[in-house]
Structure 1
Amino acid sequence: MQLSQVANISAGYPFRGKIPRVPGSPVLVVQMKDVSPSEGIRWAGCLETELTGKRAPDFLGEGDILIAARGNHNYAVQVDSRLAAAGKQVVAAPHFFVVRLKGKELRADFLTWLLNQTPSQRYFEQNAEGSLSKSIRRSVLEEAPIVIPPLAKQRAVVAMAHTLRQEQRLAQQLIDSGERMMNAIAIDLHKGHSQ
C-alpha cells in the first residue's frame, strides 16, 4: 500500500523570502531547527511570524505528521497535544511535507514511527535527489510503501517504541552524570597536583 492511499500530503507554507519574526503574532511556524526525531517538536523555540505568502494557510492540527523534505535524514515528527498548549495557529515551514491521515485505520503515532524506521528511510534515501543537499519530491512521499497492521498491534508497537525512548533518555542521563563525575575527579586531581 502507498502512503497517498491513507493520507493527504501537502507542502509546508510557502513564505515569500525569509520567514519574518513578528513578536506577539497569533501564528507560529515550525522550522527544521524546532524538530528532532527523538524529541518531536520543541514548541518553545517556534518563531512567531506573519504569513507572507499568497496561499491560504493550512494550519496544523493534532495528529498531523511533519516530514523533513530536505536533508540526509527525512525523519517524521507528529504534531502532538502540546499544539493546543501553544495557544496559537501553527504552520509548517516550506522544508516540510505535512501528512494528514484520511481515516481511523492507521494511528498517527504508529505511522510516524514507521516512517522513521530503516525500510522507509532506505526508500527515501534511494529516491532522494541532489548531490550536496538531498531532497525528496512529493511524489516520492506519496508512493512510499506502508503497512497497516491491526490497531492493537499498532498500539503495542508504539508503546514499545515509547519505552525504548525512555530507556535511551535514562541511559544518556547516566552517561552524562558519569562524565560530569569523571571531569570533577580530573579537576580535583589537577588542583591537588598543582599545590
Structure 2
Amino acid sequence: MKTELGEMFEISAGYPFRESIQPFVEGNTYVIRSQDIQSDRPVNRLELAKIQLEVQNSDLFRSRHWVQGGEVLFLSRGQPRASYIEDTFTDLPVVTAAHIYRIKPIFEKVLPAFLAWQINHKVHLGHLMQEGSTVPSVRRKQLESLVITLPVISIQEQVLSLWRMISKERRLYQQLMVSRQLEFQTMVEDLMA
C-alpha cells in the first residue's frame, strides 16, 4: 500500500528549547540531539545526555513532547536522516531537540525500523529536497508529503533482515580495508628502513 507519510503518521516537532542544551549529570530528562540520530541503528539510551527540564503543566507537556517507544525520529537539518526508538524508556522521560521530528504511527501496521529505513532510502535517492543556503533543512510539509510503501509486516521484516546483513557486511569490509591499509603501511616502512 502506498500512502503519504502525513496520512498514516502523526508528525510533530521536538521540544523548543529557549537556550542551548546543557547536559546535567543529575538531570531529570534525557534529550535526543542531532548526534544521537544514526541511520543504521536505533537510538541508544546509554548515549543520551541528561538535562534538567522544568515544566509548568506536566500532563500537557508529557502528551506533546515525551518520546515513546515505536516512534521514528527524523533529523531535519544538516544531513537529514531517520532513526527509531525500540522501547519506551522507563527511568526518565525523553525529549528531542526542536529540529528533530517525531513520527508516530496512527496504526500498528509498520515496524519503526522499516519506516526509518524507508525514509533514509528516500533521502538517499533525493526524494526529500533540502532547502536553505547555509544549513540545508527539510520542512514538515515536505516530510508529510513523502510517499511511502507499507507492505505487510512479514515483508517489512524480510527487507530489514537483508538491510541489516548488508550493513554488517559493509562495516566488516570497511574494517578489512583499514586493516589492509595498516598492513601495507607497516610492510612499506619495513622495506624502506
TM range (shorter): 0.7 to 0.9
Q: Which amino acid aligns with 1:76?
A: A
Q: Which amino acid aligns with 1:188?
A: D
**Distance in 1, Cα, partners of 2:42 & 2:112:** 13
**Closer, same or farther in 2 for the Cα pair 1:13/1:119, shift >3 Å?**
closer
Q: Which amino acid aligns with 2:112?
A: A
Contact map agreement 2:70 2:112 (CA 8 A) in 1: yes
Contact map agreement 2:67 2:93 (CA 8 A) in 1: yes
What's the C-alpha RMSD, in Å, of the aligned pairs?
A: 2.3
Please show how residues 35-184 of structure 1 align to structure 2 within 5 Å. 35-51=37-53, 56-57=61-62, 58-71=65-78, 73-81=79-87, 84=89, 87-118=91-122, 121-125=125-129, 128-184=130-186
State the secondary structure of the residue aligned to 1:25. coil
**CA drift at 1:123:** 2.2
State the secondary structure of the residue aligned to 2:147. coil
Summarize deviations over 1:71-109 as a string: whole Å, max 9, x none. 2x321101124x64x843211111200101111122211
**Closer, same or farther in 2 for the Cα pair 1:53/1:19, shift >3 Å?**
farther
Partner of 1:29: 31
**CA drift at 1:53:** 7.1
Unaligned runs of 5+ in 1: none
Aligned length: 186
State the secondary structure of the residue aligned to 2:164. helix
Q: TM-score, normalised by structure 2?
A: 0.85
**Distance in 2, Cα, partners of 1:106 & 1:28:** 26
State the secondary structure of the residue aligned to 1:8. strand
Contact map agreement 1:14 1:53 (CA 8 A) in 2: no
**CA drift at 1:164:** 0.9
**CA drift at 1:120:** 7.2
Q: TM-score, normalised by structure 1?
A: 0.84
Q: Calculate percent identity across the aligned residue pairs.
A: 25
State the secondary structure of the residue aligned to 1:56. helix
Contact map agreement 1:15 1:53 (CA 8 A) in 2: no
Unaligned runs of 5+ in 2: none
**Closer, same or farther in 2 for the Cα pair 1:35/1:184, shift >3 Å?**
farther
Q: Which amino acid aligns with 2:80?
A: N
